[in-house]
Amino acid sequence: MASPSSSSIDQVSWRASVLSRFLQQSTDNSFQSLQSSVCLQYSPPELSEKFEFDVREMRRLLDDHNFEDRDWLMGLMMQSNLFSPRNSGGKVFVSPDYNQSMEQQREGWLTDRTLEGEMRKLTLMDVVTVFDHSLSVKIGVHFFLWGGAIQFFGTKRHHDKWLKDTEDYKVKGCFAMTELGHGSNVRGIETITTYDSNTGEFVINTPCESAQKYWIGGAANHATHTIVFSQLYINGSNQGVHAFIAQIRDLDGNMCPNIRIADCGHKIGLNGVDNGRIWFDNVRIPRENLLNSVADVSPDGQYLSEIKDPDHRFAAFLAPLTSGRVNIAGGSICSSKISLAIAIRYSLTRRAFSVSASRPEVLLLDYPSHQRRLLPLLAKTYAMVFAVNYLTKVYVTRTPKTNKSLHIVSSAFKAMFTWHNMRTLQECREACGGQGLKTETVLVILKVNLMCKPPLRENNVLMQQVSKALLAEYISAQKRKKPFEGLGLEHMNGPSPVILAQLTSSVLRSTKFQMDIFCLRERDLLKRFADDVSQHQAQGESKAHAVLLSFQLAVDLARVYSERMVLQTFFESETCHSEGPLKNVLGLLKTMYVMICLEEDASFLRYGYLSIENAAAVRKEVMKLCSELRPHALSLVSSFGIPDAFLSPIAFNWVEANSWSSVHH
């Protein structure tokens, strides 16, 4: 723990002099107007904290791509009145106002299909998240879900007809997949579509209340069109889930015939998004509105598809959700960055309790417990930034061959990073004490919004899917007697790593040990999961049910798989860098990331990867790393490059922001 700086001692003696000055006057009974200068002084942390590495260089490393686009959009937001600038404590802050005017940067959003175009899109979504989750969800629904569905499920006829109008907001799209009766389980949806060859139309129907489309972002007020997911029946037989385009409102916003829409009701958080419910009463749409990249129906009513297996067809339909997962993973880390920047800045200006009566009060971040609360989360966030950059690259360079791996990694990262973000927000809020409760503090808003983001509910389902995919790969590699390829399991082709019996600090900090212990754990858990499932099967359970019974190992395995993938991206980002102060700090962060994973995961002890003594050494190392990272805390959050205006008054002069003179009388 750093000792209190001399400036803090000055401050205390200054406060003592203020108090005694007051006491000398206090027998004077006349009213004394308070001087605003007579105050516990706020001291900007920049004055006392050191910067030992190049913050701009770190920022470039973190942001990875499209630097100018980020700066341009953030600058635009700060200058525009649309983003409700407010003055507090002598600084300007922007905050959500749920308006939609993003026309300037929509151009090329869907029609620019180059790699650069895709990277730019993801960058801008990231920046929008800094400002407001509701807005990013709305943009996400219109461009990524509606627009993405047309792009990926549709063919040329759909692209020509819809993409330009989508970019120009002439149509406003939504995405009607989930139903009241079926959320995560899309395969079970009950909406029914049939084909009428007399008129060349599809007829979409909601046969029962549980089939109402539910929780559809944008549907309640604004959307003119929707993608409808529905069971397709041809000549009485079910061809499975397909996607259609249906108009739900005319251009004046009037509801179309045979469409009924209701609001989902008041939600806490994300009220900026108009979630709605839709009923289709035998709505007729042209045959051409079937999004036919996977399957088509001929004018005379024949079902045509090159993919014969309905399961594969279904998988093809879910593919565009990948973009959603990539966005959410990135957005979660973005929101973690903001909350850490606020909480750490505050902890460098707020003091509480003296260690002894004669000593000054201690800065929050100089408490070992406060360091332990925030700094491991900071290290994790750094690690996950590199992982998001990796995921982005895998996404924009995807090919049919990498799709499976993309699916698995994006599922795992989405679940892990949203969980990380929930926890970070909660810890940061608590670390800000009473100040963390105010709306202006942003933290609470981010938390409520995230809490209310519908996809959150399926994290455990996603994790189990990841492990099922790894299990399938494991079984198939064993059967084929071939090495693992793809999915990141290549490390299992070699012999099992051996961990030293006695872990000194220098071993704990070595790259070899760090990768070895993560690989060892992953390899062992995959084997345990496979054994557990086959044991249940041997006892007569179906395979599907056996997997359900092994859910604990499944969730553990998926977590362990992600943690190793994240670490790998950290290594790769680190090795490109030349020796120097920046690389030293990266090394501390990386080791902290590994140590905190080791400390928090009981499997290391549960399955004996670490002895009791070594687990104790790990815990000690975490505390040591806390004090080594403490001096870099301010530089590390400054490197996030988030403009002050996007943070909160408590990240700056919170005394001034709370002063009487700042009250609107």
- Which parts of 321-360 interact with a copy of itself (CB under 8 A)? 352-356
Decide whether 78 or 655 has the Cβ nearer to a copy of itself: 655
**Would you say the C-alpha torsion 543, 544, 548, 553 has a positive or negative sign?**
positive
Q: Which of 7, 36, 87, 496 binds a copy of itself (CB under 8 A)?
A: 36
The footprint of a copy of itself on residues 40-79 (CB under 8 A) is 40
Q: CB of 194 within 8 A of CB of 218?
A: no
The contacts found for 3-11 with CB under 8 angstroms, 24 or more apart, are 4/359, 4/360, 4/362, 4/363, 4/366, 5/48, 7/43, 7/47, 7/48, 8/351, 8/360, 8/361, 8/363, 9/360, 11/40, 11/41, 11/43, 11/360
Q: Supply the minimum distance, in Å, between the C-beta of residue 408 and a copy of itself.
A: 20
Decide whether 29 or 399 has the Cβ nearer to a copy of itself: 29
Q: Which of 434, 502, 540, 575 binds a copy of itself (CB under 8 A)?
A: 434
Phi, psi of 245 (to 5 degrees): -100, 130
The footprint of a copy of itself on residues 541-580 (CB under 8 A) is 542, 544-545, 548-549, 551-552
The span from the CA of 585 to the CA of 77, in Å, is 32
DSSP-assigned letters across all residues of 35-61: PTTSSPPP--HHHHS---S-HHHHHHH
Decide whether 44 or 188 has the Cβ nearer to a copy of itself: 188
Q: Supply the minimum distance, in Å, between the C-beta of residue 587 and a copy of itself.
A: 24
Residue 538 as a binder of a copy of itself (CB under 8 A): the answer is: no
Residue 183 as a binder of a copy of itself (CB under 8 A): the answer is: yes
Decide whether 465 or 568 has the Cβ nearer to a copy of itself: 465
Cα-based distances in Å from 546 to 260, 278, 469, 529, 553: 42, 37, 15, 10, 12
Residue 16 as a binder of a copy of itself (CB under 8 A): the answer is: no
Q: Supply the minimum distance, in Å, between the C-beta of residue 523 and a copy of itself.
A: 18
The footprint of a copy of itself on residues 439-498 (CB under 8 A) is 439-440, 444-445, 447-448, 451-452, 454, 456-457, 460, 464
Classify 194 as helix, strand or coil.
strand
Residue 361 as a binder of a copy of itself (CB under 8 A): the answer is: yes
Decide whether 99 or 542 has the Cβ nearer to a copy of itself: 542
* Residue set of the binding site: 178, 217
Q: Which of 8, 166, 194, 591 binds a copy of itself (CB under 8 A)?
A: 194
DSSP-assigned letters across all residues of 490-557: GGGGSPPP---SS--HHHHT-HHHHHHHHHHHHHHHHHHHHHHHHHHHHTT--HHHHHHHTHHHHHHH
The span from the CA of 183 to the CA of 455, in Å, is 10
Residue 429 as a binder of a copy of itself (CB under 8 A): the answer is: yes
Residue 539 as a binder of a copy of itself (CB under 8 A): the answer is: no
Q: Supply the minimum distance, in Å, between the C-beta of residue 463 and a copy of itself.
A: 10
Q: Which of 46, 160, 250, 281 binds a copy of itself (CB under 8 A)?
A: 281
Residue 423 as a binder of a copy of itself (CB under 8 A): the answer is: no
Decide whether 233 or 303 has the Cβ nearer to a copy of itself: 233
Dihedral class, residue 275 (left if φ above 0, else alpha if ψ from -120 to 50, else beta): beta
Tokens of 414: 């989405």
Decide whether 318 or 515 has the Cβ nearer to a copy of itself: 318
Cα-based distances in Å from 296 to 119, 315, 430, 470: 32, 16, 54, 33
The footprint of a copy of itself on residues 362-381 (CB under 8 A) is 367-369, 372
Cα-Cα-Cα-Cα torsion 93, 99, 100, 101, nearest 10 degrees, comes to -60
The span from the CA of 654 to the CA of 41, in Å, is 10
Tokens of 390: 């990796």
The span from the CA of 518 to the CA of 523, in Å, is 9
Q: Total residues contacting a copy of itself (rule CB under 8 A)?
A: 109
Binding characters for a copy of itself, 260-279, by CB under 8 A (x = yes): x-x-xxxxxx-------x-x
Q: Which of 44, 75, 108, 188 binds a copy of itself (CB under 8 A)?
A: 188
Binding characters for a copy of itself, 195-234, by CB under 8 A (x = yes): -x-xx---x-xxxxxxxx-xx-----------------x-
Residue 606 as a binder of a copy of itself (CB under 8 A): the answer is: yes
* Residue set of the binding site for FAD: 178, 217
Tokens of 312: 């594969």
* Binding window for a copy of itself (CB under 8 A); candidates: 16-24, 241-249, 285-293, 639-647: 16-24
